[in-house]
Amino acid sequence: MLTEYSDKIRLVNDFTPCADISGRDFWDSLPGELRRELIRNGEASSSFDWKRLSASDYMEFSRTGDRTRYETIYNERRCALDHLVLAECVENKGRFLGDIINGIYFMLEESTWCIPAHNSMIRDAVQDPLPDYDSPVIDIFSGETAAILALTEYLLHPALSEVTPLISRDIDFRLKERIFIPYMNYHFWWMGDGKSQMNNWTVWITQNILLAALTRPDTVLDRETKDEIVKKSIVSIDYFLDEYGEDGCCDEGAQYYSLAALSLYSCLEILDTVTGHVITPVFTEPMIRNIADYIRKVHIDGNYYVNFADCSPLAGRRGALEYLFGKRAHVPELCAFAASDFRADTDRLLPRELSLYRRLLQIICWEEMMSVSVPCSFTAEDCYFKSTGLMTARDDTLFLAVKAGSNGDSHNHNDTGSFIVYRNGKPLFIDLGVETYCRKTFSDRRYDIWTMQSQYHNLPSFGGFLQQAGKYFAASGTSCTLSPSLARISMELSGAYRGIGSGGGWISDEDGSIRQKDGADGLRSFRRTVTFFKNDRIAIEDVYDSALPAVLNLMTDEAPSLTRIDREHFLLSFPGGGTCRICGALSAEVQSIPLTDPRLRTCWGGQVYRIRLKADSRIRLEIS
């Protein structure tokens, strides 16, 4: 898409996100309460304890697989620096400069900006225990650090120069060494080659390299090099866009929209600005408009979003980037949604956000988003995203999402055919999401993790056999119908368990561990049809043709009460309201699953529940 503009793309000016500290008209005009809050955040970060990051801390990931300790200190440093920089820009008294300079040099002195979990030049390879100075790795966090330092230098250049010009010189030295030189001389997988699967890394890193490079004066990075960076970036962006269907669905989910679609917007905005607006028409291309508006379509209620794959159901609040993307893409519903959500956010200054650029945009758009009228409804219509097989539908009480597609998504879970149901904005049948990331999460042992397995989604297993990972393990024969009174999706799901029919597959043992087993009898067919009768009920019907016994698993947030009506009929009743009538189950049980992982506990509290329904050839659920 962008390469079509290659002949027109010429760097005509550098990128200036807003006035630097000397532009007092901007900084002094910010609302008084906003200014006071920025200063309070800076004061809270004054005399910040810049805890050391030792070689032992870095090697802890290689030894134990734990990412938490190193990344916590790493992230806290960057958040503190962001707070201090913005406070100094607002106050302009030099009160925060000492702490800012300390923060700058603590980051410059880090052995690498690449976190231990990403420390490899090769995708999905075993990470090196320590950084290699000869081969700096550009990952998402090194890119973010580069942008933070570059914007810090840009915003505070007049003040830092009064202390000593060596500060700017040292920042630029590290940017060249760790970002610009490797970017121009190495090929990292996230840059794209037409073969590798892209994800949020591509545009997230590209955005930050553009921010770092295009805020440097020509005396630091010459015009020719900047132009080469621009041209290289548009190739990567097009590889990223090649992963999307025309419907704009993000297969990484709502949480990753903030890193994928919004980083795409930043890339386009920066490139459009520095090239004299020659790519402005790209913003209104149908696919770009759909990419922008995806987040509104998968919003459930309040903080809840559709969350298949590694996505959390709590995908964050909307703010300036969504608002600006909606303006440029001419999607007024997205602007209204973003402005409304921004006003409801109690953390509008993004106190835990690493990106200084995103924090700046919140400040720049603050008054507009607080005062803009919201003339239109922003509740999304029912949607079917053909590119991923995702259907969403809603009425005044119930929300339904069903995933067809395949098990080859980015951040995949083996969940093809699973569904999510919310009632009155609260979770009823859920997708758990993912535990805190560790070494196993992105390794060949990924599907040993229980939350990744189909038996912990709203799906059946057959004789203990589970779905398998990869794009070839997919739904087929999918059809979808959407109307004002009804939404229906139907699919054949035996292909997601393909190993069962080809001599083997993944099987779950009684202790919950999974292993590969050969010689299984075949699963001939598994057809699932989900029908949403608006303002009435949701019906889910499974039809199995298998020599193996079926056990349908259902995941819930609340503990349901289970009542047996007769031989094949059960009733689930939920404390918060809602029922599920079950027809065709031979037996039913409710299991309590304690949650110890902090990330899961944030979403679901101390435990979730799994209902296990043994079935023969057919089972039907009616949810209301």
What is the rounded average pLDDT of the residues 307-313? 93
pLDDT at 522: 75
- Give the list of residues 6+ apart from residue 592 with CB closer than 8 angstroms, or none: 559, 607, 609
| pLDDT over 90, % of the chain | 90
Element (H, E) at 325: helix 320-329
| pLDDT at position 516 | 60
Query: Quick one: pLDDT at residue 377?
Result: 79
Which residues have C-beta within 8 Å of that of residue 239, sequence separation ≥ 6?
A: 191, 192, 193, 194, 198, 202
Residues 366-374: what's their mean pLDDT?
Answer: 92
Banded pLDDT at 500 (limits 50, 70, 90): low
Beta bridge pairs of residue 615: 550, 585
* Under 8 Å between Cβ of 543 and 617: yes
CA distance 380 to 248: 15
Degrees (nearest 5) of the Cα angle 525, 529, 533?
Answer: 170
Query: 188, 185, 183: which is closest to 230 by C-alpha?
Result: 183
* Structure confidence by residue, pLDDT tens digits, 461-492: 998 899 999 999 999 999 999 999 999 999 99
Strands of 411-452, DSSP E: 419-423, 426-429
Helices 286-297 and 332-344: angle between axes, nearest 10 degrees = 40
Nearest to 553 by CA among 617, 457, 468: 457
> H/E element holding 56?
helix 55-64
Residue 520 pLDDT class (50, 70, 90 cuts): very low
> Could you give the angle at the alpha carbon of 540 between the alpha carbons of 538 and 542, nearest 5°?
175
Q: Which residue has the tokens 């700096």?
A: 136
d(CA 412, CA 525): 23
The 3-state DSSP class for residue 148 equals helix
- Across 270-280, average pLDDT: 96
Mean pLDDT throughout 376-383?
Answer: 88
Residue 202 has which token pair? 């591509």
Between 60-69, 516-525, 605-614, the lowest mean confidence (pLDDT) is in 516-525
Per-residue confidence at 9, pLDDT binned at 50, 70, 90?
Answer: confident
**What is the C-alpha separation between 575 and 593, in angstroms, rounded?**
18
| Beta-carbon count within 10 A of 429 CB | 26
Encoding tokens for residue 580?
């599920």
Residue 243 CA from chain centroid, whole number: 15
